[in-house]
A and B are shown apart, each in its own frame.
Chain A
Amino acid sequence: NAGVTQTPKFRVLKTGQSMTLLCAQDMNHEYMYWYRQDPGMGLRLIHYSVGEGTTAKGEVPDGYNVSRLKKQNFLLGLESAAPSQTSVYFCASSRGQGVLLLHFGNGTRLTVT
C-alpha cells in the first residue's frame, strides 16, 4: 500500500518548456488535490477533483491544467513554464463523502530557470 505517489521528485525546466506531474493513489479515494507551497505563503490550492472525470479550479489555477481520467490518477500540467512556477508541489487525496482527512504525496520540487 503505497498511499499517494508523486513523480518526478525533482525537475528543472527552462522558461517556456512544458511538463506533467503525475499523482497516483491506491486508497480508492474520491477527492484529489494539487497544492503548491512557497516560503511564507503556506499551501495554496491549484486545482482539485471530486471524482473521476471532474476537475475544478482552486485558489491559484492560472498557468496550470489538470486531468482525472482515472480515479487513481491526477495529472498536473504546465504548458509553458515560468520562473513564478518555481515551487514545491504536493498532491493529496481524501476519501470524500464528508471525510476531508488529506493524505499527501512526498512532493515535487520544481525549478524554472
Chain B
Amino acid sequence: RKEVEQDPGPFNVPEGATVAFNCTYSNSASQSFFWYRQDCRKEPKLLMSVYSSGNEDGRFTAQLNRASQYISLLIRDSKLSDSATYLCVVNIAASYKLIFGSGTRLLVRP
C-alpha cells in the first residue's frame, strides 16, 4: 500500500465549478501536510499547508481529518488557470523526508 494515495483523475469540470480532492495517508505518525501544484512539465510549487483546524486561502480550502487519515482540497469558482496536477505531501514526525502522492489531475474547461 502506498504511503500517500490520491485519485489520479482527471477531474474535468467547467469554469466556475467547485471541485474537491481527497488524499489518504497510511502512517499515523504523519504530522505535517501540504498541497503542491504542478503544471505540465514544470516543477512542483507549494499551494498551501494544511492545518489541523482547516485553512483557507482565497478560493482554496484545505482540511485535515486525523481520525480517518485524510486531507482534502476544495477549489471554489474554478478558473482555467487552475488546470494542473495537485500533489498531496506528508511529513512523518521526526523525519526530514516529505512523501508525495502521485497527484490528481484537474482540467477546467471553458
Contact = CB atoms under 8 A, between A and B. Distances in A.
Contacts of B96: 31, 48, 50, 56, 96, 100
A104 interface: yes
Interface residues of B, number: 21
Contact of A45 (B36, B43, B87, B97): B97
Contacts of B46: 101-102
Interface string B66-97: 00000000000000000000010001000011
Interface of A is mostly: strand
A100 B96 CA distance: 8
Interface string B86-110: 0100010000111111110000000
A56 to B, nearest CB: 8
B43 A42 contact: no
